[in-house]
Structure 1
Amino acid sequence: MATWLLLCCLIASSLAAAAAGDGGNQVYIVYMGAVPQRASPNLLQESHLRLVSTVLKRGRRAGSVVVRQYKHGFSGFAARLSEVEAAALRRKPGVVSVFADPVYHLHTTRSWDFLQQAAVKIDAAARRRGAHKPAAAAADPSSSSPDTIIGLLDSGIWPESPSFNDAGFGPVPGRWKGVCMAGDDFNSSNCNRKLIGARYYNESDVRGPSQSGGGSPRDDVGHGTHTSSTAAGNAVAGASYYGLAAGTAKGGSASSRVAMYRVCSEEGCSGSAILAGFDDAVADGVDVLSVSLGASPYFRPDFTSDPIAIGSFHAVAKGVTVVCSAGNSGPAAATVVNAAPWILTVAATTIDRDFESDVVLGGNNSAVRGGAINFSNLDKSPKYPLIDGAAAKESSVSDAESASHCEPGTLDSGKVQGKIVLCNHSEGDTSKVVKADELQSAGAVGAIFVNDAERSVATTYLDFPVTEVTSAAAAAIHKYIASASQPVATITPTATVTEYKPAPVVAYFSSRGPSAQTGNVLKPDVAAPGVNILASWIPTSSSSLPAGQKAASQFKLVSGTSMACPHVAGAAATVKAWNPTWSPAAIRSAIMTTATQLNNDRAPMTTDSGSPATPYDYGAGQVHPTAALDPGLVYEAGEDDYLHFLCNYGYDAPKIKLIAASLPDGFACAANASAALISDLNYPSIAVSGLGGKGGSRTVTRAVTNVGAQEAATYTVAVSAPAGLNVKVTPTKLEFTKSAKKLAFQVTFSGGHDAAAKKGAMSGSITWSDGKHLVRSPFVVTS
């Protein structure tokens, strides 16, 4: 992987303490909740300045310390303050929270074809079970209304990419209020009828002139160009990465418009810029926001000090669907981020494409299957001496284990020169790319990394012949080395393999549930392709081109939940285009309840380690874009539902009144508000904690709204539950009519006779069906 992607995968988040002058001041965000009714942006700006002036020392002007103001979707500002001034503002009436400006990091074709092909196979299996494919699925879901607008908070965009050509697009929708900001190497003519808006938030304005990047909507990282083309890029024939993954690259909602909000640079994504992006996107008129970035799972800000939670809450309240990446800190449990219940949170899975690069052994020319991206020019015949790292240990190095992992400084260059070196690789090692560079510098002709966890993610090594094999495959290589007096081998250049099985599997890096903040809301929500995704990229320098290539590829293969997020954003835009009056909750529900849990072997999905996947890995399952257009029933939720969630989360009524745009007179949190009642949020999935053993019981309530073509419809329920858990749904039949479009039901979970023996999470599902639609809700119950 490129260095920037490794940084993205680490998601190392820290609080920014940028100095501004000589007083030790730093940037703080002052969040003041919803915009008051009948308050104009100008009035808000003035009120912000007046407020901050009340805590400043004589000689400091409010206009010189306030660096950003939020006045459309919500109220607040960012300012350079001392710790004392920030503390004083926390005590002011009307202030929800004051927190140091955090720096978040990016969570960093065939994928859409795979989703469509998989959908056909899954639908065929569903028909055999007595259900039917929705009529809408007969159409191409990417051919939606051209008036749907997808906004992205990301690293910018490369407007010259063919993915953003506006040929065939009509006039920009009249409701669009955004702008195309001029900046470094970017002007208004770079926008068009496809790329209709571009904004940037210059970090030097906030953190001083020493901060690079951010002075233009133009992408100098590549991440934003990749995600925006994945969500809404045009169909581009003949796309490939130097011949690999060849085909037509296209976005999930190719007819949608794109608006880029550059909130990230190579240094990261500041919270103050993220909030500004949300604020502007709401005012500009986007329909869907794709946010492939987040905090570290080990830095868990409260909802009122998390820029993504704050911005997305107010965006959803304004009718904007917000889709976020789940994070790249898997496979450890409880690492999912962006877990607020108003966010659609996305995990990452593989697709049915592999990048195969084999090891051919001497003797009988047997091939050991491996995978990576290299453009090897080695001879096809196995004639290169083969040695493992431990045997090439530098004599002064005592640590044979480090040498077997080919850690820098542990190998004797004389022993590896002209040879292919076999290296173990584990989590926590020096990066494979660094190891490969060291081996190449020492004169090795190639390398083989034994790597179980990351095998499914194709690392790019360009001209240096490197491949990666599993430990099971490596056993054959070790056996050959031990048995041959002069072991030799070769490494084949990468070849693209399609219809690879099994797929999808949950990627090792994809962050897992349960959420440390919202254990009674099941997260992530859904999974989508996020491994080796081909999409548009920025031009690269000639020094990084493979041998014989004269021009940089316009496309690149990248992995991360960053890549999964825009797949779901594209699907959400399509659902919105087909159902323009639907709320963000209805769109989320449609995507979740129609998700699939089978792979292309028609077997239950697994993780890439081979273990059975659970809702903590993939939420409701793999997104099924066509079925989501006609889900039958949806679970609705609005701002009031989320406010009651905040009550149960622990906020008091005065704070909630500041957060909300408007509340009924006399609004109060229930006297029995508690975290356990979060399970009653009308969510498309169910999470219950603290059930207890035998005799323990918990009942939750849900309501579904009929959005099918038939007003009169009867749905019956089917329950799939594990041993040790009793699940009862009441009633077992829902009869919808013209006057009864929304009906409620209850689910009671109780411990069975062997519940005491059950530890950990127990998962299953509740599925409503009218013979045409399957409306599935996963559940997870912990004792």
Structure 2
Amino acid sequence: MARSSSNTMLWLLLAVFASLAAAGAGRGDDGRRSSPQVYVVYMGAVPPRTSPDLLLESHLRLLGTVLKRGRRADSVVVHQYKHGFSGFAARLSKDEAAALRRKPGVVSVFADPVYQLHTTRSWDFLQQTTTTAAVKTDDSAGPARRRSSNKNKGSSKPAAPADDPSSSTPATDTIIGLLDSGIWPESPSFNDAGFGPVPSRWKGVCMTGDDFNSSNCNNKLIGARYYDLRSVRGPSPSDGGSPRDDVGHGTHTSSTAAGNAVTGASYYGLAPGTAKGGSAGSRVSMYRVCAESGCAGSAILAGFDDAIADGVDVVSVSLGASPFFRPDFSADPIAIGAFHAVAKGVMVVCSAGNSGPDAATVVNEAPWILTVAATTIDRDFESNVVLGGNNSAVKGVAINFSNLDRSPKYPLITGAAAKSGSVSDTDSASHCEPGTLDSSKIRGKIVLCHHSQSDTSKLEKADELQSDGAAGCILVNDAERSVATAYLDFPVTEVTSAAASAIHKYIASASQPVATITPAATVTEYKPAPVVAYFSSRGPSSQTGNILKPDIAAPGVNILASWIPPSSLPPGQKQASQFNLVSGTSMACPHVAGAAATVKAWNPTWSPAKIRSAIMTTATTLNNERAPMTTDSGSAATPYDLGAGQVHPTGALDPGLVYDAGEDDYLRFLCNYGYNASTVRLIAGSTLPGGFSCAANASKHLISDLNYPSIAVSGLLGKATRTVTVTRAVTNVGAQEAPTYTVAVSAPAGLDVKVTPSKLEFTRSVKKLAFQVTFSRSRNDDGDDDAAAKGALSGSITWSDGKHLVRSPFVVTS
């Protein structure tokens, strides 16, 4: 099979097919609509002094005005939203949906979208890295990556209580809600030993469903709900509802965010140590909105609506839309639900997406969301290639339980040399694309295959090679090197192009080349780490170019956390592992949700914006070599890759200063984004004065003035604008009542950055102070614009009182 020439085109085609499939849902073979489709009707904030029962009645009355004769409103409703916001989801015809769009009080009507899931040592690594690196902020490039051998050490080290915020949380009453694929309650991560009674403010429930009842909840797992997922699972009777996880994703994310410390955890001996969540003292509530095939937008909104009413403190959302077909804010279930959650004081943390390393692929971009990118940790899984002749070893990475002889005795062949006679494309054969190899040439041999992101998946290649009788496979793979893929019972390892050159040289020089592949071994204290994972979606935001996204980075590569019981065991294993190693921004998101819950526990009155600020401004941009972080390709990491940097959970407990923002700020953002005043009034409801109006000069450029912990400015490097000034305000939350902060600026060539005033002097009565940042294009000696001032220029401003470093990254573009 010929390989696609563009990874972006591949993802685009997949997204088109998914969109066409969704659009075709409910149509017969002749293309005519055979049944109504689910639409979401969003009506903004709940009207004041309106009971849920009255709100539900009003929804049904409104719906009844557009339904065709013979259709009852209560028979077509799928969900009704009545706590955090107003609206409903119903099975409607296209004409009925169009009629509802024209009704007063309706913000938007949109077809129910299907979103996708963004599919330990990580917490110890965060403490080790940030403790040594947080005091230095340097935007220069770092060295190439290398490893230190440490095969015999365990995968986790005990941290002192003072360095581990999860072990010193002042209360166990913080509640993390997860919108995900469900939960496996029997996991030891959710044992409630040592937990007191459920907080009295909790209003949630433990729903009974298939193989799930109220006894599955306890004082740790305090809530579990599930929703109608027929739009993503189909109407099969076997697809009954339950909060129980049959995918594994929700169990993994919830244990990463708030799982108990479980000693002796590993994945069949790999990554051994103690698995624990970021806020082990927090309670957990699961809102099952996803099946393996996807997540229904109408269910996502129902999950947000219930989580707000139940009383969660933090919502963790490891899923999102396609970066190629993302909806606008008023038609995005995550943006809608998150807006109303934040307006009610609930922190919302979302994954950035797994469509990297292409630019402008970040999703969940609304400024009221904390958006998380993924990075590696200092652990690797080494599976080496041993070559015949002198038994030299070539370093490889994969998760396999190879049963090959440790001596190199298996014939070694390249995919190109094993090309089928019926195939003319040698390049596809060299990549071992399915159908391109002669099975008689590879039987009993180890096959060397090249791989790129636009190829058929690695697992598909491995499956075909295994079924054709190959002894093993060596994949030459540069882009995906940082993620150890699990091949389990088939001996596969992955090597870089540089390492593969030694293998090619050996094959060319030996008359009968032979090799073997060793089983995976855990290597810790890998350097440099963290690096930004290749799959992590990148900025700039295509929706909000004057908001810098993603916001923060966290571990998301080969994360060990709880899992559902597997359907089969790897070779030689007699007992199922309760844990799994999984990668994705899905895994990074709950790391930050756990950190946010800990900050909330220490500061119960803080707004979501203050918590976000504490997390962002205390992040580190250094790796475990005390050098600036890079991407996994070795290039210098920019704010478009990792936002403010790698999360520093302990540092976030004492940020010194915070940037606050509230619902009014986000409503002004919506005005500047382009929504008219009547729509904004509907979204906000009674929180706005009756005469509210968007400013006459509302503009997307004014979005840069949102009191955000990072700064993004567009239009400066073009010909029209030479200077842009933005305003920020910070609040002193440190122990010292009257500190003085001075500013340090790190600016790239071609850009002049001035902060006014350069010193902030707080007093007992003055806790909040404003400052301005002016960005100007540099001029060279001839008075012309500096040629270096092109593209995206990034740097940072850092306020310090001698103890705290309050760092804000910035990006300036044309």
Q: TM-score of the superposition, structure 1-length normalised?
A: 0.96
Give the CA deviation at 1:23.
Answer: 4.9
Q: Which residue of 2 aligns with 1:581?
A: 605
- Do the aligned residues in 2 keep the contact of 1:632 with 1:775 (CA within 8 Å)? yes
Select between 17-26 and 620-629 the one with higher mean Cα deviation: 17-26
How far, CA to CA, are the matches of 2:94 and 2:193 in structure 1? 53
Q: Which residue of 1 aligns with 2:711?
A: 686
2:620 to 596, 615, 632: 596
Select between 578-587 and 662-671 the one with higher mean Cα deviation: 662-671
1:679 is matched by which residue type in structure 2?
S
Deviation string, structure 1 residues 226-245 (Cα, Å, up to 9, x no partner): 00000000000000000000
Q: Which residue of 2 aligns with 1:722?
A: 748
- 1:745 counterpart SS class: strand
Deviation string, structure 1 residues 285-310 (Cα, Å, up to 9, x no partner): 00000000000000120100000000
- 2:165 counterpart SS class: coil
Q: Which residue of 1 aligns with 2:165?
A: 140
Q: Which residue of 1 aligns with 2:512?
A: 486
Cα distance change, pair 400–328 in 1 and its aligned pair in 2 (3 A): same
Deviation string, structure 1 residues 583-628 (Cα, Å, up to 9, x no partner): 0000000000000000011110000000000000000000000000
Q: Which residue of 2 aligns with 1:358?
A: 384
Give the CA deviation at 1:671.
Answer: 0.6
1:627 is matched by which residue type in structure 2?
G
1:54 to 65, 75, 85: 65
- Do the aligned residues in 2 keep the contact of 1:586 with 1:636 (CA within 8 Å)? yes
Give the CA deviation at 1:266.
Answer: 1.6
Among all aligned residue pairs of Structure 1 and Structure 2, give the percentage whose two residues are the same amino acid: 83
Deviation string, structure 1 residues 433-468 (Cα, Å, up to 9, x no partner): 111111111111110000001111011111211100
Cα distance change, pair 39–714 in 1 and its aligned pair in 2 (3 A): same
How far, CA to CA, are the matches of 1:258 and 1:710 in structure 2? 35
Q: Which residue of 2 aligns with 1:500?
A: 526
How far, CA to CA, are the matches of 1:101 and 1:60 in structure 2? 20
1:765 to 773, 796, 803: 796
1:622 to 629, 636, 646: 646
Q: Does 1:657 align with 2:688?
A: no
How far, CA to CA, are the matches of 2:666 and 2:38 in structure 1? 29
- Do the aligned residues in 2 keep the contact of 1:136 with 1:627 (CA within 8 Å)? no
2:104 is matched by which residue type in structure 1?
P
Give the CA deviation at 1:665.
Answer: 3.2
Q: Which residue of 1 aligns with 2:758?
A: 732
Q: Which residue of 2 aligns with 1:94?
A: 105
2:374 to 348, 373, 389: 348
- Do the aligned residues in 2 keep the contact of 1:389 with 1:404 (CA within 8 Å)? yes
Cα distance change, pair 142–631 in 1 and its aligned pair in 2 (3 A): same
1:240 to 257, 262, 266: 266
Q: Which residue of 1 aligns with 2:700?
A: 675
Structure 1 stretches lacking a partner, 5+ long = 1-5, 128-134
- Do the aligned residues in 1 keep the contact of 2:717 with 2:790 (CA within 8 Å)? no
Q: Does 1:19 align with 2:26?
A: yes
Give the CA deviation at 1:211.
Answer: 8.0
Deviation string, structure 1 residues 33-61 (Cα, Å, up to 9, x no partner): 00011011000000000001011111111
Deviation string, structure 1 residues 410-451 (Cα, Å, up to 9, x no partner): 111111111110000012211111111111111111100000
Note the 1:36-185 alignment, pairs <5 A: 36-123=47-134, 138=163, 140-144=165-169, 145-185=171-211
2:243 to 205, 208, 217: 217
Deviation string, structure 1 residues 667-725 (Cα, Å, up to 9, x no partner): 11111100000000000000000103587110000000000011111000000000100
Q: Which residue of 2 aligns with 1:3?
A: none
Give the CA deviation at 1:204.
Answer: 3.3
Q: Does 1:741 align with 2:767?
A: yes
Give the CA deviation at 1:201.
Answer: 0.2
- 2:54 counterpart SS class: helix
Cα distance change, pair 333–211 in 1 and its aligned pair in 2 (3 A): farther
- 1:43 counterpart SS class: helix
Q: Which residue of 2 aligns with 1:557?
A: 581
1:521 to 532, 547, 566: 547
How far, CA to CA, are the matches of 2:333 and 2:355 in structure 1? 20
Select between 561-570 and 705-714 the one with higher mean Cα deviation: 705-714
Note the 1:74-473 alignment, pairs <5 A: 74-123=85-134, 138=163, 140-144=165-169, 145-204=171-230, 209-210=235-236, 213=239, 215-473=241-499
How far, CA to CA, are the matches of 2:747 and 2:788 in structure 1? 16
How far, CA to CA, are the matches of 1:733 and 1:643 in structure 2? 31
Cα distance change, pair 304–126 in 1 and its aligned pair in 2 (3 A): closer
Structure 2 stretches lacking a partner, 5+ long = 1-9, 139-159, 780-784
Q: Which residue of 1 aligns with 2:146?
A: none
How far, CA to CA, are the matches of 1:200 and 1:76 in structure 2? 19
Q: Which residue of 2 aligns with 1:130?
A: none
How far, CA to CA, are the matches of 2:302 and 2:23 in structure 1? 17
How far, CA to CA, are the matches of 1:686 and 1:306 in structure 2? 24
Q: CA RMSD in A?
A: 2.0
Give the CA deviation at 1:125.
Answer: 5.2
How far, CA to CA, are the matches of 2:185 and 2:620 in structure 1? 35
- Do the aligned residues in 2 keep the contact of 1:163 with 1:235 (CA within 8 Å)? yes
- Do the aligned residues in 2 keep the contact of 1:370 with 1:468 (CA within 8 Å)? yes
How far, CA to CA, are the matches of 2:434 and 2:526 in structure 1? 34
Deviation string, structure 1 residues 557-586 (Cα, Å, up to 9, x no partner): 000000000000000000000000000000
2:589 is matched by which residue type in structure 1?
C
Cα distance change, pair 663–125 in 1 and its aligned pair in 2 (3 A): closer
Cα distance change, pair 373–41 in 1 and its aligned pair in 2 (3 A): same
How far, CA to CA, are the matches of 2:222 and 2:792 in structure 1? 46
1:523 is matched by which residue type in structure 2?
K
- 2:417 counterpart SS class: helix
Select between 760-769 and 203-212 the one with higher mean Cα deviation: 203-212
- Do the aligned residues in 2 keep the contact of 1:355 with 1:372 (CA within 8 Å)? yes
1:705 to 731, 752, 767: 731
Q: Which residue of 1 aligns with 2:42?
A: 31
Give the CA deviation at 1:136.
Answer: 10
How far, CA to CA, are the matches of 1:168 and 1:293 in structure 2? 32
How far, CA to CA, are the matches of 2:280 and 2:339 in structure 1? 27
2:524 is matched by which residue type in structure 1?
T
How far, CA to CA, are the matches of 2:259 and 2:788 in structure 1? 51
How far, CA to CA, are the matches of 1:388 and 1:556 in structure 2? 32
Give the CA deviation at 1:25.
Answer: 1.5
Give the CA deviation at 1:653.
Answer: 0.5
- 2:797 counterpart SS class: strand
- 2:196 counterpart SS class: coil
Q: Which residue of 2 aligns with 1:666?
A: 691
Give the CA deviation at 1:143.
Answer: 3.3
Give the CA deviation at 1:757.
Answer: 3.9
Select between 494-503 and 137-146 the one with higher mean Cα deviation: 137-146
Q: TM-score of the superposition, structure 2-length normalised?
A: 0.92
- 1:755 counterpart SS class: coil
Deviation string, structure 1 residues 111-133 (Cα, Å, up to 9, x no partner): 00100111221146589xxxxxx
Select between 613-622 and 373-382 the one with higher mean Cα deviation: 373-382
- Do the aligned residues in 2 keep the contact of 1:762 with 1:781 (CA within 8 Å)? yes
1:688 is matched by which residue type in structure 2?
V
Give the CA deviation at 1:137.
Answer: 5.6
- Do the aligned residues in 2 keep the contact of 1:142 with 1:251 (CA within 8 Å)? no
- Do the aligned residues in 1 keep the contact of 2:412 with 2:448 (CA within 8 Å)? yes
How far, CA to CA, are the matches of 1:76 and 1:108 in structure 2? 30
How far, CA to CA, are the matches of 1:233 and 1:51 in structure 2? 44
